[in-house]
Amino acid sequence: MKVIRSKSAGFCWGVDRAINIARDYAKQKKSVVYTDGPLIHNQQMMTMLEKEGIKEIGDYQSQSELELTEEEKDESVMVVRAHGISPDRRKYLKSLGMEFKDATCPDVGIIAGKIKQHARKGFSTVIFGDPKHPEVIGLMGYSNGKGHVIQSKECIDVLPDLGENVCMVSQSTMFMYEFEELSNYLQEKYPELKIFNTICGATRDRQTGLVNLVKEGAEAIVVIGGHHSANTRKLAKLASLQGKPTFHIETSEDIDIEKLQVYETVGVTAGASTPEFIIDDVCKKLESI
- Which residues does residue 195 pair with via DSSP β-bridges, in sequence order? 168
Q: How far is CA 54 from the centre of its chain?
A: 20
> Residues 56, 65, 135, 219: which is the catalytic one?
135
Q: Is the dihedral of CA 33, 34, 36, 38 positive or negative?
A: positive
135 catalytic? Reply is yes
How many whole angstroms separate alpha carbon 68 and alpha carbon 71? 8
Helix, strand, coil: what percent of the chain each, to 5?
A: 45, 20, 40
**What domains lie within the chain, and their CATH numbers?**
2-10+201-287 (3.40.1010.20), 13-103 (3.40.50.11270), 107-195 (3.40.1010.20)
**How does pLDDT run along the chain (289 residues), one tens digit per residue?**
999 999 999 889 999 999 999 999 999 876 789 999 998 888 889 999 999 999 999 998 899 999 899 988 888 999 999 999 999 999 999 999 999 999 999 999 999 999 999 999 999 999 999 999 999 999 999 999 999 999 999 999 999 999 999 999 999 999 999 999 999 999 999 999 999 999 999 999 999 999 999 999 999 999 999 888 888 888 999 999 999 999 999 999 999 999 999 999 999 999 988 999 999 999 999 999 9
Q: How many angstroms from the chain centroid is the CA of residue 163?
A: 31
